[in-house]
Structures are given as structure tokens and as C-alpha cells.
Copies of this chain bind each other. A is one copy, B any other.
Amino acid sequence: MQEARPVTPAGRRIVAAAEELFYSRGITAVGVDLIAERSGVTKRTLYNQFGSKDRLVAAYLAERDKRWRSLVRDAVDACADRVAAVTAPFDALRTWSEGNPRGCAFINALAELPDPAHPAHRIAADQKLWLLGLFEELAADAGCRDPGTLAVRLLVLHEGALATQPLPPDTLAVSAELATALVRRAFG
């Protein structure tokens, strides 16, 4: 098993180039030659670092997941009120979506990689389950009576906003508003 996190400067540049290309054009549609060229690196170096395209894909998703979680955590920490913190991931989603008009990178990756044994599946599933767990934790911290139920509902709203992102109506605002109403009701 090779390490997932790249340590050398070249490795970091490769992952950065892969992130942009994979997300904007699709994983299958992007060849390793192009990634090597964009990161100013030889294909040989790419394979010395990651061993295969599949492992590079896993590194790309892991890196993206790391950045996203950090953004969500910051949004949660920025809330003074514990009740307001429950819907903080929706604020983070607003920030996140602005530079990412092509939907959820993990959902997109699963669409292209049907094999459940592919490392991308674990990463994508873990990402959603992490958010579900976070919702539950935040709800419990705020004193919610049934944090599990509330968490699933919030997750559905969150993913619904993400999926309808390209559509004309501002679905993110609508889902955030619904989420706030749900949270308010759970405590009122």
C-alpha cells in the first residue's frame, strides 16, 4: 500500500493538476499524459509517486475531502450560538459551491467508477457519513431530543441543494431555510 498523501513538491503539483482536470472534465475523460504535462512533470514521475491512475484518483478525492471538511469545521466554529451551528454546513456549502459549479465531486466520481472495490467508493461514502455524523453531533450538542432523525433530514436537504445547484431557482437558499425551520421546530 502506497501512502495516500503526496510528500514531494512534484507530488503536490500532480494532485493539484489532477484536481482541476478531473473535476472540470471528468475522471475517465482525462488521461495521465495531460495531468503530467499540466503539472510540469514527467509521466514517469507521476507513476513513481502514485503507481497507477486509480491511486491518483483516490489521492485527488482524499485531498478534496480534506479541504471540504476543514471548510465545514471553520463554519461550525464561527457560530457563537449552538443552535445556529447545526445549520452551519449550509453556510459552508454556499461558499464551497461558488468555485465549484460542476456539482459534488464525490457523486460525480461514483458515477464514473461503478466498481465498489475502487478506493473512491470508500472515500465518497465516508464523506457523506461524516457529514451525517456531524449533523447528529451538532444537534445533540444543541440539546436536541432526537438528533439522529434530525440529522438524516438535514443531510437530505443538504444533498438536495447540491444536486439541484445548476438549476435556475436558488435551491440552496430554499434548503437552508427549510433546514433552519426544521432545527427551530426541533427545539421549540
Contact = CB atoms under 8 A, between A and B. Distances in A.
Interface of A: 24-26, 28-29, 102-104, 107-108, 110-114, 125, 128-129, 132, 149, 152-153, 155-164, 166-169, 171, 174-175, 178
A110 B103 contact: yes
Given A26-B114, A157-B160, 12 more contacts: A26-B113, A28-B112, A103-B107, A107-B111, A112-B112, A125-B167, A129-B167, A156-B157, A156-B164, A156-B178, A159-B159, A159-B163
A163 to B, nearest CB: 4
B107 A26 contact: no
A103 B111 contact: yes
A161 B161 CA distance: 11
B153 A174 contact: yes
Contacts of A110: 103, 166
Contacts of A174: 149, 152-153, 156
Most chain B C-beta atoms within 10 Å of own C-beta, residue among A103, A152, A153, A171: A152
The 4 nearest A-B residue pairs measured at CB: A160-B160, A108-B111, A156-B160, A28-B28
A70 to B, nearest CB: 23
